[in-house]
Every structure is written in C-alpha cells, then in structure tokens.
Structure 1
Amino acid sequence: MAAPKTDPVPSRRARGRPRAWDDKSEQNTIKSLDRAMAVFEHLSTQSGVSLSALSEQLGESTATLYRILFTLETRGLVEFDQAQQLWHIGPGAFIIGARFLRRTSLVERARPILRSLMEETGETANLGVARADQVLFVSQVETHESIRAFFPPGTLSPLHASGIGKALLAFMDPAQCVRILAQTGRERFTEHTLCDAGLLKENLDLIRARGFSIDGEEKNLGMRCIAAPVFDHYGEAVAGVSVSGPTSRVSPDKVEALAQAVKVAAANLTAALGGETAMSKGSSSS
C-alpha cells in the first residue's frame, strides 16, 4: 500500500517579518516614505528653516516639500512657526525618542560591542559607570588568555586610579570633578598612582585632548588598562569602555593601536545609545 501523501512542512518565518525581509532591493523601498524621512532627518539638524531655503538645500520643489512637511506636521513630528515662517522639528520627535531611551539598556547594547572589542584586541573588555567617587564595573568579556584582568560585575575601583574612572573624570563637569577628587583623598595604591592634584589634572587634560585614558599600573602592579568614555544624548559621559591586561601584553608599543580600538568601541556604544560626544554636538550646531 502506498504511503499517504503528506503536505510539506512550511518553512519557519520570524514573527513580524515578511519572507522578503533580507531583500534590500529597491522594490522593497517606499520611495515617498524614504524621501519624507530624508526631509525629516535634515530638518532635525536645523534650528529653524524656511520652505524656500529647505528647497535649495535638498534640491526638492517647494510643492513636494510642503506636502511632506504638512503630513509630518499632522503627526507632531514637525511644526511651523507662523510668526517667523520657519519649520522646526516637532514635539512628536522627542516623544518617540524618549520611548527609544526607555527601552535602551546600557549593558545589553554594550555586550556585542565588548565581545567584538575583546576578539579584536585579544584582551579583556570592560564596561563601567561612575558611582559616587568610584567606578562600578557592570559588564565584562574575558580574554581567552590564561593570564587576564578580572573585574566581575559589581567590582568597585577608585575613579582616580582606574582607566575608566579617569576617562569619566576627564569629561565630567569641572566643578563636579574637583568636588569628587576633594572627597576621595586620592589614595595611593602603587608607586604609579596619581595622587598629586597637579599631576592628576595634567593627566585629565591629556585624556580630554586625545580621547582615551591609560591606567599604567596605578591600581595593580603588572596590569595596564586603556579606556574611553561613552556619551548619552545630552553629550554627558555616562560610562566607559576599556581593555585591560598584563603589561607584558599591553605594552607601551601597543597602546596606540589598542586605544584606537577602544575609542571606536566607545563611539559605537555612544551611537547605539543615541548619544553624541561634545565634539559632535559642537560640529552639528555650527
């Protein structure tokens, strides 16, 4: 007897995605929506712009732009200043952005970035935030090397004797930085710890100038750490990313290359959080 026929098992599909999800061809792009989003993104960089000026900047007709702006205005994404005859980004954009911020998790967004940083550098990658006068390590991806730095989540380290701590201090409000350092007492842990206020200030100035910090055996002899700050949407340093390892591997001749990798990782996490650095804020407003 012939076996009964069975229907083929349908291929599994991720919920919320069509079969052509991975097809990035032009046929899957809604051109009018894409054009509207380009106008919306451009307007978000302006402090108010007239319809004619926007037409010149984007190379679109005023009629087309008006239809786009009017549609966005009905959603509260843009608004029109009747007195000055200028278009601005609207409150609806902030509401949507605030919803994004509510679902943003620093640790979750940092995890893949830390893993990539560890794989690129071969050293342990860390994420830390400031808690009073200390750094609280909240995530870590360990190197596969047998000799490694180990700062499990929950570990605390003084700001002045930590790579992440100094990166945060360097980009902190100056008055807050002075207040914190006055409270800490700047304990000496090794002969390399920067306890002198003048030397520490010079080091923080250097960190601001080059965008990364170095903990050169300042907390633990034989260990070196390179860190860079992560910024939120206000341009404030809210966390730090670092790599750390023994001085035999994290040697002075490798610092520059490692620092570039750390800075890229910190910039990627900043972007993932919807943040921007103080420098990018200044350039966008010019």
Structure 2
Amino acid sequence: MRLPRLAVGLAAVCVASGVPAHAWAATPGATAQRTVITAASPVVDMEAAVLAAQIDPRRDDDTLTPGAKSSVLAVEKALQARNLLDAQWVDGYFGTMTVSAYAAYQRSLGYTGLAANGLPGTTSLTKLGLDRYTVGNTIGPGAKVQRDGYVVDARTQAMLAEAQCLLDYTLVLEQGSYNVGGDPTSAGTHDGGGVVDIAVTGMTAARRTAVVRALRQVGFAAWVRNPSQGDWPWHIHAVAINDTDLSSQAQHQVGDYYLGMNGLANQGPDDGPRIPIKTWEQYQRGQ
C-alpha cells in the first residue's frame, strides 16, 4: 500500500440557461503570461491538476485521479528538475509529497500564506512550466467581494448565485471565507477562500437536503451539519471544489467528499444526497 500523502439576487439567470459568467476566471494578464513553446510541448490541464492535488493526498492507495495523470506528471517532472521532488514521486499521483514540493516552489517565488498552499495557481504553474509545458483550462478565485456582511471570492459568489437560481430560494451566510481564527470550531477550513456556512433557520429537513443538493450540483462539497457532530448549531457547510485559495483543511474536505466521506475528522460516510460530482467549471460546460 502506498503511504498517504500529505448578494447576488434571484434575478440572476441560471448558467444552464446560457448566461456566461467569467468574473472569477483567471485574468487575461495571467493568460498572457503563458510561454509560447513548440507544438510538441505537453499541455497541463490546470483544472485536472488542481483537482488531483485535493483528492490524491486523501487516498490510502495509489489510484490516480481520472484525466489528471499526464498533467500531474508534467508538473512533477518540472519540480524534479528544480530538485524539489525525488524521482520516486514522479508518478502522476499528486500526493502529499508533490503538494509539499509545489508549496516549496511557491515559497521560492516569494509567496506566503494561501499563495503557498500547494495548490497550483495560474502564475506559479506557468512559471514552473517555462520551456517545458503550456497551461490550459486556467482557473482562479477572482476578487474578494462582500456577501451578507462576509468576505467571499467572486468564483464562490457566482456559484452561490447559481445554486440560488436552481432553488429559487435566497441563501444567507452565517460565516464566510478568509476568516482566519474567526471560529475555532471550523478547524481552519474557513481560513482561505471557497468555504461558507449557510444559515438553516426556518428550513425543513427536506429544504436543507434540497439546498445541499443544489450546492453539490454547481460544484460545492456540501453537507448539513448538526449539533451532535460538533460544537456548532445546525448549518450547511460548503466548500467550493477547485478554489485555488482553499486552506489545507478545506482541501482535505474536498478530497474526502470525492472519496465518499463526510468531511469531518472521523472520516465517516457521506451523509448527504449522492449526485454526480463535478466542479463549477464542469457544471458551466454542461459536463
């Protein structure tokens, strides 16, 4: 066995109806930074690589994230070339050794905090691939914005707006993102971007389940939380899959969600509605 590695209103029209929403995507400037290499150079699918960096460290075997192997291999070879990753870990598996190596590379660029969380960002991924690969399917959290008196990023805001559209129901936050140390019971999951808690006051059990289902449809790992699970009131906890500003703890929750778990420390079975898992970008593409 392999060792494990470490307020948009309801007037918005659903993306499924054809309204584009790109405010949360990587900036044109970041895209322009891509190095033009020969046609034979590999293309790193950023979406796939970031997803693997969340799932692979939570596996207890060496199963690869579907569709990510070639992109992860290209990243690992580039890290190895910089003496940041031993050859034995160049295997297409974005486990804890690769996450740690990527974080070290981010720090070598002068990044700190969330910018050195081990998840590839557009700028660092492009710089790492200089003369080695190009970058496709770039993603990013976008600017920080206000919602219900809390801070979230633009990508998360767009996802919440889409969930509201599917539900025809307004979602109200009781905790936002980038809330370092704001709630000790959150165990660091809200320290970065992409994570929110949603109030459930007045919701029936059926409504809570419907909200979780809609959140999952648009690309959140989401669960109903109740007082029997921890020192918190009833609420819905949601983590935006592939948000590159996720804290390490939130990254682990995404991985656990993909592996059928509840995102809690006990790694119990997923207690939410099981639907096909997808990212926000996949949802927009109708995949």
TM-score over 0.5 for the pair: no
More RCO (CA 8 Å, sep 6+): 2
Greater helix proportion: 1
Report the structure number with the largest CA radius of gyration: 1
TM-score by length of 1: 0.27
Greater strand proportion: 1
TM-score by length of 2: 0.27
